[in-house]
Amino acid sequence: MTKLVYTIEEAAAELRLGESTVRERIRAGSLRSFKDGRRRLIAGDDLVDYVQALREVS
């Protein structure tokens, strides 16, 4: 079961990517995120959708 939300750091660890790469993917619009106050978070479902989209392209 995936977590409900991930921080940038947690998402980077799950994806085995650097934090700057995750932030770049968010800016590019390929990975959805949202803000809660000052924190940027990624929904677990959006993380799964991102990985599935990568698999469809390959």
Query: What mean pLDDT is predicted for residues 50-57?
Result: 94
pLDDT value of position 1? 60
Give the tens place of pLDDT for each residue, 6-38: 999 999 999 999 999 999 999 999 999 999 999
pLDDT value of position 58? 72
Q: Would you say residue 40 has pLDDT above 70?
A: yes
Residue pair 8/39 in contact by the 8 Å Cβ criterion: no
Q: Would you say residue 57 has pLDDT above 90?
A: no
Residues 6+ apart with CB under 8 A from 32: 26, 42, 43, 46, 49, 50
> Looking at the whole model, is its pTM more than 0.85?
yes
Domain limits, the chain: 5-57
Residues 6+ apart with CB under 8 A from 45: 2
Phi, psi of 17, deg, nearest 5? -125, 165
Query: What dotted CATH number matches 5-57?
Result: 1.10.10
